């Protein structure tokens, strides 16, 4: 997974951050094992777009909803 941003967290949160990172890697491995690289790539695209949208930076890419085939933004 590529790094989108750097977040300074207290040292006490390092073990939790490591666990979250491990969980993300395991989920990625399962997605690839079960459905192939294409699904993982789509999930990563949506994940990164959601982060950009949450951080208020729409100019660097699409919104997360537009990344998933067959999805439409709510009006």
Other beta carbons within 10 Å of 6: 5
> Quick one: pLDDT band at residue 55, thresholds 50, 70, 90?
confident
Q: Is 40 a member of any domain? A: yes
User: pTM for the whole thing?
Assistant: 0.63
Count of domains for the chain = 1
Q: Is 3 a member of any domain? A: no
Q: Is there a contact between 53 and 46 (Cβ–Cβ < 8 Å)?
A: no
Q: For the segment 20-33, what is each residue's pLDDT rounded down to a tens digit? A: 999 999 999 999 99
Q: Is 20 a member of any domain? A: yes
Domain limits for position 27: 15-67
More confident residue, 50 or 23: 23
Please state, for a pLDDT cut of 70, what percent of the chain lies above it: 67
Question: How many secondary structure helices (H) and strands (E) does the chain include?
Answer: 3, 0
């Amino acid at each position: 997974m590529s790094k989108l941003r750097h977040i300074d967290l207290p040292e006490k949160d390092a073990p939790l951050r490591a666990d979250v990172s491990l969980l993300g890697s395991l989920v990625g491995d399962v997605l690839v094992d079960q459905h192939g690289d294409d699904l993982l790539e789509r999930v990563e695209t949506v994940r990164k777009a959601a982060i950009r949208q949450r951080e208020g930076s729409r100019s660097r890419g699409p919104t997360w909803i537009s990344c998933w085939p067959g999805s439409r933004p709510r009006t």
